[in-house]
């Protein structure tokens, strides 16, 4: 077994967090879909897919390194999204929380001198930088637009691809 069970357990816990993130982004995507903002909805549907991929990547790592896997319960998303600002603030909060969780995994991998895990986790460290900055950028834009001009976001997101 290439992984210590303590780290395997923490990574599997993170699998649950990533699935919870996926569910949260799905709930946000549905909010925008029902507000007739299909580009923004599409952005969040894609985010939901990406979070699922993160979960699978973490899960496969534990399987490949021979850790025992007991999948956790996935917490329910915040169901009521009040506004576009609420959606992006929720997303940013979530990404900041995940950044802390990934850092926690890295701390443990370092404590255990597990270089393989550190190498693997580096990808997530970089990914968090991208996700936090993206959500921050959109949250700032949404605040500047206000409710009246929120449909401008559709064009911006469409152009960002």
Footprint (CB under 6 A) of ligand FEO, residues 45-74: 51, 54
Query: What's the closest the beta carbon of residue 22 comes to ligand FEO, in angstroms?
Result: 8
Helices (H), the chain: 5-34, 38-64, 84-111, 115-145, 152-160
Instruction: State which residue, 18 or 114, has the beta carbon closest to ligand FEO.
Output: 18
Q: Which of 137, 131, 150 is nearest to 24 (CA)?
A: 131
Count of residues of this chain found to bind ligand FEO when the rule CB under 6 A is applied: 7
* 153 lines the binding site for ligand FEO (CB under 6 A): no
Q: Return d(Cα 4, Cα 103) in angstroms, integer.
A: 17
Q: Return d(Cα 26, Cα 143) in angstroms, integer.
A: 22
Instruction: State which residue, 81 or 151, has the beta carbon closest to ligand FEO.
Output: 81
User: How far lies 22's CA from each of 39, 70, 143, in Å?
Assistant: 18, 19, 24
* 135 lines the binding site for ligand FEO (CB under 6 A): no
* 98 lines the binding site for ligand FEO (CB under 6 A): yes
Q: Which of 101, 96, 85, 74 is nearest to 28 (CA)?
A: 85
Instruction: State which residue, 105 or 153, has the beta carbon closest to ligand FEO.
Output: 105
Footprint (CB under 6 A) of ligand FEO, residues 14-33: 18, 21
Q: Judged by CB under 6 A, which of 9, 95, 114, 154 binds ligand FEO?
A: 95
* 131 lines the binding site for ligand FEO (CB under 6 A): yes
């Amino acid at each position: 077994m290439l992984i210590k069970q303590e780290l395997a357990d923490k990574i599997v816990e993170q699998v649950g967090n990533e699935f919870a993130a996926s569910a949260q982004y799905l709930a946000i995507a549905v909010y925008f879909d029902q507000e007739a903002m299909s580009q923004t909805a599409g952005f969040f549907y894609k985010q939901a897919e990406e979070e699922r991929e993160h979960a699978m990547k973490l899960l496969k790592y534990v399987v490949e390194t021979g850790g025992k896997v007991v999948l956790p319960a996935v917490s329910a998303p915040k169901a009521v999204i009040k506004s576009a600002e609420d959606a992006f603030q929720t997303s940013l909060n979530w990404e900041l929380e995940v950044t802390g969780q990934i850092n926690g995994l890295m701390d443990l991998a370092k404590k255990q001198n597990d270089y393989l895990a550190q190498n693997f986790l580096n990808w997530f460290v970089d990914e968090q930088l991208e996700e936090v900055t993206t959500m921050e950028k959109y949250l700032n834009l949404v605040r500047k637009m206000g409710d009246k001009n929120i449909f401008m976001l559709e064009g911006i997101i469409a152009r960002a691809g």
